[in-house]
C-alpha cells in the first residue's frame, strides 16, 4: 500500500516517456533548423531549385508562342520560340530577290557585273503572276515573315534590301553583304516564272567555281547541307511539291551561273518557292496564310542546318 509520497510505478513510467518524447521533439526541431540554414551543406530549399519541368538554363520572362520548339518541327515550329533562343549568336542573311523599284531603273539594273566565270546584269525585275502580283513583292513579304520567326529564335537577321533602296542591290553586292556579315547561312528568296504545268519549289545550290573573284570551294558542301535541310522542311511545312521540271524530283538544282552564289564565301542557297506562271502554284504564292507557312518552312530549314 502507498504512503502518498511516492507515485505508483505506472505513473512514473508515463512521466519518463513524456520527458523522452519532449527531448526527441526538441532535438528534431533543432536539426531541421540547422539543415535549412544557408551554407549548412544540406539540400537547398525548394525556392533555390529550378521549377518543375524547367532546366537550369531556361530563360524566363517571356511567353512562348504556339508550337515553340527552337530546333525544328520535330518538337514544334522552329524559330517561333522566344524562350528557347536556339539560334542565339547565329547570323542569318536573307536576300529578298529583285526589288519592287527595279522596273523604274532599267538602265541601271542592266549594267554588267563580274560574277567570276562570266558577266551578268546587275539585277532584273523578276517575274509575276498572270494577275500582276510581282515576285519582288512576294519575296519581301516572305522574307519579313521569316525574319520575325528567326529573331524570335535568337538569330541576328540581316537583309540585303528591305524595299528601301531605289533599285538592286546588284548581284555582286548581294553576295558581298552576306560575306561582310560573316553569315552562318544566307538565303536568297525567289519565285520562278516557268510555263503553266510546271509546278513546285526547288532549291539552287552553288557549283564549284574558281574563276576570277569567285571561289566556292569552301562553301559547296555546307551549302548542300543547308539546301537539303531547307528542301525537307519547306516541303513538310507547306505541303508544296518538289519541282516537277527541275531537279528530277529532288527539289535541288546545282548552278554555276548565279553571281549571288559564285561570289559568296559563306554557306548560301537560293529557293524558288513556286512557279508564278502556274495557276495552282500562283494560288498558293498569293495566299498570305501559305506565305506564313513558307516562312515557317524556311525558318525550320535554316534552324535544322544551324543546330544539327
What residues are labeled active site? 272
Query: CA-to-CA distance for 133 and 257, rounded, in angstroms?
Result: 26
Q: Where are the beta strands (DSSP E) in 221-298?
A: 252-255, 268-275
Phi, psi at 305, each rounded to 5°: -65, -40
Q: Which of 171, 168, 193 is nearest to 282 (CA)?
A: 193
Query: CA-to-CA distance for 200 and 272, rounded, in angstroms?
Result: 9
Phi, psi at 277, each rounded to 5°: -95, 0
Other Cβ atoms less than 10 A from the Cβ of 146: the count is 26
Q: Which of 298, 202, 200 is nearest to 247 (CA)?
A: 202
Amino acid at each position: 500500500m502507498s504512503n502518498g509520497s511516492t507515485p505508483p510505478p505506472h505513473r512514473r513510467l508515463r512521466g519518463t516517456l513524456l520527458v523522452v518524447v519532449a527531448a526527441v521533439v526538441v532535438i528534431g526541431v533543432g536539426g531541421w533548423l540547422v539543415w535549412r540554414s544557408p551554407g549548412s551543406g544540406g539540400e537547398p530549399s525548394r525556392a533555390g531549385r529550378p521549377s518543375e519541368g524547367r532546366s537550369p538554363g531556361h530563360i524566363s520572362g517571356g511567353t512562348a508562342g504556339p508550337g515553340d520548339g527552337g530546333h525544328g518541327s520535330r518538337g514544334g515550329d522552329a524559330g517561333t520560340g522566344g524562350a528557347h533562343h536556339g539560334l542565339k549568336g547565329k547570323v542569318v542573311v536573307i536576300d529578298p530577290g529583285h526589288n519592287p523599284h527595279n522596273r523604274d531603273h532599267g538602265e541601271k539594273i542592266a549594267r554588267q557585273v563580274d560574277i567570276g566565270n562570266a558577266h551578268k546584269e546587275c539585277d532584273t525585275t523578276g517575274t509575276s503572276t498572270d494577275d500582276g502580283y510581282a515576285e519582288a513583292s512576294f519575296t519581301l513579304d516572305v522574307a519579313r515573315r521569316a525574319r520575325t520567326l528567326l529573331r524570335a529564335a535568337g538569330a541576328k537577321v540581316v537583309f540585303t534590301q528591305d524595299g528601301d533602296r531605289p533599285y538592286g542591290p546588284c548581284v555582286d553586292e548581294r553576295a558581298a553583304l552576306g560575306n561582310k556579315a560573316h553569315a552562318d547561312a544566307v538565303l536568297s528568296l525567289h519565285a520562278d516564272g516557268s510555263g503553266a504545268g510546271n509546278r513546285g519549289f526547288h532549291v539552287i545550290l552553288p557549283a564549284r567555281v574558281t574563276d576570277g573573284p569567285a571561289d566556292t570551294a569552301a562553301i559547296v558542301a555546307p551549302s548542300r547541307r543547308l539546301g537539303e535541310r531547307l528542301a525537307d522542311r519547306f516541303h513538310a511545312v507547306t505541303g508544296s511539291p518538289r519541282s516537277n521540271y527541275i531537279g528530277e524530283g529532288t527539289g535541288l538544282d546545282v548552278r554555276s551561273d548565279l553571281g549571288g552564289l559564285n561570289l559568296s564565301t559563306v554557306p548560301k542557297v537560293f529557293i524558288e518557292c513556286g512557279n508564278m506562271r502556274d495557276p495552282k502554284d500562283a494560288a498558293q504564292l498569293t495566299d498570305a496564310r501559305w506565305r506564313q507557312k513558307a516562312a515557317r518552312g524556311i525558318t525550320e530549314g535554316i534552324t535544322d542546318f544551324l543546330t544539327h
